[in-house]
Structure 1
Amino acid sequence: MQVSKRADLVPTTPIRLMYRVYKYILPEVRLELDRLRVVAERIPDPELRTQALASMNSKQFHCEGGGVYAAANLGARHLLIPLIVSLQTISDYLDNLCDRSTSLDEDDFRLLHQSMLDAVDPDARPRDYYALRAERDDGGYLHELVSTCQKCVKSLPSYEKVQAHVIELVGLYRDLQVYKHIVRERREPQLLGWWKPYRDRFPNLQWNEFAAATGSTLGMFMLFVAASDEELTEEAAIAIYRAYFPHVCGLHIMLDYLIDQEEDRIGGDLNFCNYYADQSALVDRIGDIVHWARKDVLTLPHWRFHRMIIEGLLALYLSDPKVREQPDVKRVSRKLMRGSPLTRLFFWGNSVWIRMQQSSHR
């Protein structure tokens, strides 16, 4: 596989990565979020405005975590950070709209998420994504997010090499968001039917683990970074797609669901961690996915960077304050952290520090 001449620019140690995160990534992600927050505050419809602002306030760490990928190519961060922040913000905003929706209409959810597919297609024409719901006037907020993404992907020098893979991942993401938010009694049957064509392709995964993998944006973000390299080959793009989906992506969302179990129980939301015989089986399966993810990224040229992403995911989610509030999740977290490498402990400490800094600035 062809290795980029910029190989020496990809951080391979935790200290170098976090230096870039503190100096460049976090400040620039927050500036981009501040820009979008101004647009969100002007949304005429009160429900859309509430959900847009709530998604940014409660899920800021999603954008900050995604922004870490821009540390792999600082020279392209002027494209990567707005792109990652805008696509992640669409994801978080629509998740809020669907979770607390006044609608349970499959067609409504599918049309809303068409915005994500349009965002990664530079030639797509934005449309009325709210046409099938009561709340419709967002003052151009969703179109602004879509337009920002389109401008950025259009400027990535090798986007044509990754576009098909990105569209596949976004399409799977949309399917998941539709099926997990429809009327409760239809959710599992629809998800199981959707899973069947993929079962033989990913025989080591259970249906809920595959579904979790489709809910991650990390594969999309890494493909954006790859597309910022004008020397990217189609072979390298395929390798990245395969290294990230399904195991790195699956680990990401299984951890997200792990810490959200109580919140989802109260809200009546589907949670993919609830499909195991007991907490011990859950720990074993997440441990398996960690093992597969770490093995998969060894196929990539800058595998140390991707290993740091995996350790960072574990540290970020297992250090979340939600863990302490849920005794079962706390026990699972302790088991997963047992025997952690120094890299994971380093990222754990940094995750705690970043959250403390965020709290002090609110």
Structure 2
Amino acid sequence: MKSPSARQIPKSPVPLMIRVYKYVLPGVKAELNRLRVIAQRIPDKELRTQAIASMDSKEFHCQGGGVYAAANLRQRHILIPLIVSLQTISDYLDNLCDRSTSLDPDDFRLLHQSMLDAIEPESPLRDYYALRSERDDGGYLQELVSTCQICVKKLPSYNSVKPVVTELVRLYGDLQVNKHIVKESREPELLAWWENHRHKVPNLRWNEFAAATGSTLGMFLLFLFAAEEGVTEEDARIALDAYFPYVCGLHIMLDYLIDQEEDRIGGDLNFCNYYEDQTKLIERIGDMVEQARQDVLALPGWQFHRMVIEGLLALYLSDPKVRGQVDVQRVSKRLMRKSPLTRLFFWVNSIVIRKQAKIADK
């Protein structure tokens, strides 16, 4: 299996975090600062508010995604702008749809066409706001799309991974459309969509499949593979199977776990609310952790991907949102019980990175 050079990939936490502090975090910060300047010039007030808010509240998504550039520092000048731009599209559109003045599925579909265009270098840019009242973003979304297109063109094996990346982006778009339409239609539409896919993931519940489709990690993994010469579509599919559904599902279930109170206040759908009780929720997330740890063994440099899993748990369960939610605290303590040293190491580093970000923002 052709993959990122095993010699390049860090296999233990300290070398990984040295790369993160020295290269990844500064690179992500520089790219977000560039995008923030553009976002601050957005003429439409609502679009400007949501663009800036997505960067303010979800910077850690880009930092987490940027870790994949630490596995191939030679290509970080491509991987960091690509990952940051695609993740920023995701976060910005999520904000727009969550707090939308529209409930039109065609509007949501057109907005998310931007992600499909972003991973297709030859796609023309279009008016992604044509079906909504807020339309003038000063070219912000098109800039994000263009950055992704320029970057994927530079990846040596991108044509081999593109069909698999496209499948993930299509599933992501389907999820975002179905979960943001009128409230009474959300669950029926998600369940109908699940029926078309459940044969692929027979061990998942519908909400767990939906969560897995909401992750961008599989896309970032494939970009990492595409950064090497000689990768085939078969290699890309093996890589996908190592991440989807369990690594991806774990990622988004943790995201929803810490957002339960926020989603309750906002009236947003939350995939952690579909279990018999908290005990079952803990059990299912625990199962995802174990299955994800097993699945990534299929990847060369699997130690790096094991660290990604431990880093996910540390990043989300150390989030300040956990402290304000008694039930989430309980789940967090159970999941962190008997944690390996690697997870505790990333827990401490997650707290340090957040503190550094706060100081830098002052």
Q: List gaps (5 residues or longer) in structure 2.
A: none
CA deviation string 1:17-38 (max 9, x = no partner): 0000000000010000000000
Give the letter for the 1:170 counterpart. Answer: V
Equivalent residue, structure 1, for 2:179:
180
Rounded to whole Å, the distance in 1 between the matches of 2:288 and 2:196 is 21
Equivalent residue, structure 2, for 1:100:
99
TM-fit CA distance, 1:3: 5.3
Equivalent residue, structure 2, for 1:351:
350
Give the letter for the 2:206 counterpart. Answer: W
Q: List gaps (5 residues or longer) in structure 1.
A: none
Rounded to whole Å, the distance in 1 between the matches of 2:234 and 2:136 is 44
CA deviation string 1:222-241 (max 9, x = no partner): 10010000132333211111
Equivalent residue, structure 2, for 1:160:
159
SS of 1:135's equivalent in the other structure is: coil
Equivalent residue, structure 2, for 1:195:
194
SS of 1:59's equivalent in the other structure is: helix
CA deviation string 1:57-104 (max 9, x = no partner): 110000000000000100000100000000000000000000000000
Rounded to whole Å, the distance in 1 between the matches of 2:200 and 2:61 is 29
Rounded to whole Å, the distance in 2 between the matches of 1:8 and 1:51 is 41
Give the letter for the 1:167 counterpart. Answer: T
Equivalent residue, structure 2, for 1:132:
131
Give the letter for the 1:141 counterpart. Answer: Y
| Distance verdict in 2 for CA 1:96–1:2, change over 3 Å | closer
| Distance verdict in 2 for CA 1:134–1:326, change over 3 Å | same
Equivalent residue, structure 1, for 2:245:
246
Equivalent residue, structure 2, for 1:62:
61
Give the letter for the 2:35 counterpart. Answer: L
TM-fit CA distance, 1:199: 1.0
Give the letter for the 2:10 counterpart. Answer: P
Give the letter for the 1:127 counterpart. Answer: R
| Distance verdict in 2 for CA 1:2–1:106, change over 3 Å | closer
* Residue 122 of structure 1 pairs with residue 130 of structure 2: no
In the alignment, is the contact (CA less than 8 A) between 2:3 and 2:228 conserved in 1? Answer: no
Matches within 5 A, 1:278-297: 278-297=277-296
* Residue 322 of structure 1 pairs with residue 321 of structure 2: yes
Rounded to whole Å, the distance in 2 between the matches of 1:3 and 1:275 is 37
SS of 1:200's equivalent in the other structure is: helix
Equivalent residue, structure 2, for 1:53:
52
Equivalent residue, structure 2, for 1:218:
217
Equivalent residue, structure 1, for 2:254:
255
- Alignment size in residue pairs: 361
Instruction: Give identity over the alignment, percent.
Output: 72
Rounded to whole Å, the distance in 1 between the matches of 2:68 and 2:37 is 25
CA deviation string 1:335-356 (max 9, x = no partner): 0000100000000000011111
Rounded to whole Å, the distance in 2 between the matches of 1:155 and 1:354 is 30
In the alignment, is the contact (CA less than 8 A) between 2:8 and 2:72 conserved in 1? Answer: yes
Give the letter for the 1:274 counterpart. Answer: N
SS of 1:189's equivalent in the other structure is: helix
Rounded to whole Å, the distance in 2 between the matches of 1:166 and 1:3 is 16
Rounded to whole Å, the distance in 1 between the matches of 2:3 and 2:262 is 44
CA deviation string 1:108-166 (max 9, x = no partner): 00000000000000110111000000000000000000000000001100001100010
Equivalent residue, structure 2, for 1:144:
143
Structure 2-normalised TM-score? Answer: 0.99
CA deviation string 1:290-324 (max 9, x = no partner): 11111100011110000000000000000000001
CA deviation string 1:6-51 (max 9, x = no partner): 3211100100000000000000100000000000000000000000
* Residue 331 of structure 1 pairs with residue 330 of structure 2: yes
Rounded to whole Å, the distance in 2 between the matches of 1:265 and 1:116 is 28
Rounded to whole Å, the distance in 2 between the matches of 1:234 and 1:164 is 8
Rounded to whole Å, the distance in 1 between the matches of 2:114 and 2:258 is 28
Give the letter for the 1:43 counterpart. Answer: I
Structure 1 runs (4+) deviating above 3 angstroms are: none
Equivalent residue, structure 2, for 1:302:
301
| Distance verdict in 2 for CA 1:338–1:156, change over 3 Å | same
In the alignment, is the contact (CA less than 8 A) between 2:3 and 2:225 conserved in 1? Answer: no
Give the letter for the 2:351 counterpart. Answer: V
Give the letter for the 2:356 counterpart. Answer: Q
SS of 2:200's equivalent in the other structure is: coil
Give the letter for the 2:303 counterpart. Answer: R
Structure 1-normalised TM-score? Answer: 0.99
Rounded to whole Å, the distance in 2 between the matches of 1:292 and 1:127 is 40
| RMSD of equivalent CA atoms | 0.7
Give the letter for the 2:233 counterpart. Answer: E
Rounded to whole Å, the distance in 2 between the matches of 1:236 and 1:12 is 21
Equivalent residue, structure 2, for 1:36:
35
Give the letter for the 2:136 counterpart. Answer: D
In the alignment, is the contact (CA less than 8 A) between 2:310 and 2:342 conserved in 1? Answer: yes
SS of 1:9's equivalent in the other structure is: coil
CA deviation string 1:165-204 (max 9, x = no partner): 1000000000000000000000000000000021111110
